[in-house]
Chains A and B, each alone.
Chain A
Amino acid sequence: MKQTPSQTVGPFYAIGLTRATMNILVSDATQGQRIRIEGQVFDGDGQTVPDAMVEIWQANAYGRYNHPDDKQEKPLDPSFMGWGRSGTDKTGLFSFETVKPGSVPGPDESAQAPHINVTVFARGMLVHAYTRIYFTDEMANKTDPVLNSIKNKERRQTLMAARQEKNGKTVYRFDIRLQGENETVFFDM
């Protein structure tokens, strides 16, 4: 059996895919440090992309995924599924309300730095693109196997979300550049 080919989400995906609350991953009961992720999607001309869609998938605050293949002996949080979806607005902006994920294991006894897995869709993207959000204030970034596998050190910076404090909230800024000099690192996985 061969894989069914991918096609673009097109400009009208909001009819079927995005509802207002899908970018809120947390409730009052969710355990962990509350963070907001926000950023803009840019095209190869540096123009914002108003019809992109971003999805995230992440471990809970303890570093465990809500999935049967994650058999770690860490707590599951019944109030945290770990998935969210945000369309971009007229200015290309997307956002998520979530918690900082814990560290999860990587290959060969390594530990991965806390990160959020990202899928990017847009009109004009025939296949979705995979990337990751890392956090500038995590020491573990230095030893993260995926970051270290990116040979060009400057390009690693495209995966770093910078911490800001806004109205008493912790906000991490993560822009996505689909093309250009500072094109975000996208993964083949």
Chain B
Amino acid sequence: MMEIKPYNPRDWKSHPPYMFKAYGSSVKRGPLKRLVPIQQTLSEITGPLFSDVRLEPGENDLTRSANAGMEAMGERLIVVGRVLDENDRPIPNTLIEIWQANAAGRYRHAVDQHNAPLDPNFIGAGRCVTNDKGEYRYLTIRPGAYPWLNHANAWRPAHIHLSLFGPSFVTRLVTQLFFPGDPLIPLDPILNSIPSKRARQRLIASYAHDATEPEFALGYRFDIVLRGRQATPFEAAGK
């Protein structure tokens, strides 16, 4: 017999629903039928660990990754934080993928038709890995707000996209980091799809003076919490 120690369920008070009418694209794309519950097995408690992935030096610096010796335009930011589970345990050696718009609010992507300048020295993609205490750090520029077509005069608040795996198939998370004091936050249907104000607050980074580097860049802190494991294991067939 093999022991299966399952992960906590998704916390649907923290996550958005699949369908949120104010976010137009969800209306035809969010699944509507009742989800079928699965008892977690080896298929769910395992997942890709990327322990063989070797990051190139500088992958965690989005400000200088486009052209050798050249730096992106915009306000430099240092983003630090910890990746934890619900039991407050750090998640070490876990991959974080990062993407964002440039300082003018434009993505380097063919679909982005916003009439704002591209920055030849900014790609807008990076990666980092947490250390053995679950801590991560990357350097970027503050992304600009940008218009979208969801409703009249719709603007996305400045945000950074983040993708994480954690230790299993069920700990996967893709989310967005927002900035404190952004006047667009109350108007954003994507952020406001999250059902509670307290949960929405968890996507707003905080200014971190201890991470700010003199004569260089402001620091922001953004901790990320992935699903944790339940205390009691159950037995599964194995061997």
Contact = CB atoms under 8 A, between A and B. Distances in A.
A55 B174 CA distance: 13
Contacts of A51: 111
B16 A6 contact: yes
B29 A178 contact: yes
Contacts of A124: 23, 25-30
Chain A contact residues, majority secondary structure: loop
Nearest to A74: B239
B79 interface: no
A186 B35 contact: yes
A119 interface: yes
A81 B47 CA distance: 10
A126 B46 contact: no
A4 B224 contact: yes
Interface in A49-63: 49, 51, 55, 57, 59
Interface stretch (A32-40, A103-111, A135-143): A103-111
Interface in A148-174: 149-150, 155
Contacts of A81: 48, 52
B112 A69 contact: no
Contacts of B200: 5
A174 B36 CA distance: 19
A73 B2 CA distance: 11
Chain B contact residues, majority secondary structure: loop
Interface string A89-119: 0000000000000001111111110010101
A108 B42 contact: no
B30 A1 contact: no
Contacts of A7: 16, 161, 174-176, 190-191, 203
Nearest to B194: A5
Contacts of A13: 99, 161
B41 A112 contact: yes
B108 A15 contact: yes
B43 A108 contact: no
Contacts of B103: none
B181 interface: no
A16 to B, nearest CB: 3
B158 to A, nearest CB: 14
A2 B202 contact: yes
Contact of A15 (B42, B125, B199, B225): B125
Contacts of A132: 43
B38 A70 contact: no
B202 A5 contact: yes
Contact of B15 (A6, A44, A59, A112): A6
B172 interface: yes
A10 interface: yes
A164 to B, nearest CB: 25
A67 B49 contact: yes
Nearest to A149: B36
B234 to A, nearest CB: 8
A43 B17 CA distance: 17
Interface of B: 2, 4-5, 9-11, 14-18, 20, 23, 25-33, 35-49, 52, 84-88, 97-99, 101, 107-109, 111-112, 123-126, 161, 163, 168-170, 172-176, 190-191, 193-194, 198-200, 202-203, 223-228, 234, 236-239
Interface of A: 1-17, 43-45, 47, 49, 51, 55, 57, 59, 65-67, 69-73, 81-83, 104-112, 115, 117, 119, 121-130, 132, 145-146, 149-150, 155, 178-179, 183-189
